[in-house]
Amino acid sequence: MNKYLYPLIVFSNGIHFVLIYFATNASTFELGLYSLINSCTALIFHTTRFDGSYLCISDIISKKQLREWSKSTNTILSFIVIPVISLLFFSEKYLTLSLLLISSLASYSTWQNDLDTINERVKKKSESNYKSKLTYHTLIYRVCLPIILILILNEKIYSEGLIKLVILIELLLIARISLRSIGFNSIFEKFILPPKKYFIPVILGKAEASLFILVLGSILGVNSLGELQLSLSLSRLVKIFTLQFLRVEYERLFSKSFLKLILIINLLLYVIYICIPIICSYLLTFLNQRELFSSIPILIFLFLYYGNENTKLLLVSVNMVIGDVTKNSRDKTILIVLKLLAFIPALPFINISNLSILFAIGIILIPDLIYTINQFLRYFKYTRNTIKEL
């Protein structure tokens, strides 16, 4: 069953793309609102999980600490999520809420899986049961539930009553995972949080990724962000496909010849990030679906941005190989600052014409791209020496 995990993840992202397609036809405003809120909640979810399973497997923290800290962070998470859910429901943003709950279920199920399989992963150093459960959860929460919502969003059977029913099912599933599998602190229990040193790397990593949507949405507005979602989803889908070319065993990166080969492959992928949007544009025109997607320059910018995310993932592994792990945090901090600085030149162009979309993406993309590629090219000189010398 484990061999189906990666294909299933790719397939689930394809299903997500189809879901975004139907959601675009329903309401671009609610779709844009979902994108903004989901960027925030994704950051919060990753922070509350604090990479606890990794720390436990690495014998940095105990299983008892993992469970106690998870209960405390889950309690805080609940106090944040419940008001957001209530506000969306009572303001009748049902599409936004249903999409957000699907994303939340995926995060909750991963957290549940971490805790349910931690004994086996620590004692037996086995990932088999973890991957089996992850495959099952991916099938249920990232494939089946989105397909149900896709069917409901079909114009022939669309109804708010059916969406409310899906929302109820999603809420019950989240409540079950949150209360039974992760746990919740009562007012009589001692509230114990992990040390902040475990939070900071997670916050930096996820904040850098989330800021793209948050800054872009703040510049363009919610509705324009919603109109971009189909193009954004297509870009993420291509990113996942191309990531397969860079998926290698960590140990193989210690070979300088193999490392150089991976670096060259990654460099060539940037050509693909430019060519695929052009090909997709002509294909979409042939299928009479061109009006749903952004212009070719905007698509190229989006593909370059998400393709550049693959380079960042590769750099994290290379930094570990050369023994400079702290550089990962420095890089994330610099990239966060660069994204925040994008607000300054964008202020005069906020919500002005279609040109502002290309400009808004460009002022976020170009510094991000220049910095990442500059760091990436520096590693070619490392391949001339043995890793031991580094």
Report the distance separating Cα 22 and Cα 230, nearest Å.
10
The conformational region for residue 92 under phi > 0 = left, psi -120 to 50 = alpha, else beta, is left
Work out the angle at residue 243's Cα, subtended by the Cα atoms of residues 143 and 380, and round it to the nearest 5 degrees: 165
CB 103 within 8 A of CB 38: yes
Residues of the chain short of pLDDT 50, as ranges, are 250, 386-390
Q: Is the dihedral of CA 359, 363, 365, 370 positive or negative?
A: positive
Q: What is the pTM of this model?
A: 0.86
* Cβ density class 126-158: b for 16+ within 10 Å, e for less: eeebbbbbbbebbbebbbebbebbbebbeeeee
CB 266 within 8 A of CB 49: no
Report the distance separating Cα 34 and Cα 42, nearest Å.
12
Report the distance separating Cα 248 and Cα 265, nearest Å.
12
Q: Return the pLDDT at 102.
A: 94
**CA-derived radius of gyration, the chain:** 21
For tokens 């954004």, name the residue: 232
Report the candidate in 42, 13, 1 with the shortest Cα–Cα distance to residue 244.
13
Report the distance separating Cα 329 and Cα 333, nearest Å.
6
The contacts of residue 94 (CB under 8 Å, 6+ apart) are 88, 160, 163, 164, 167
Task: List the alpha helices (DSSP H) in the chain.
Answer: 5-26, 28-49, 52-57, 63-90, 94-116, 118-123, 128-137, 145-153, 160-176, 196-220, 222-243, 256-286, 296-321, 326-341, 343-346, 355-382
CB 182 within 8 A of CB 111: yes
CB 172 within 8 A of CB 105: no
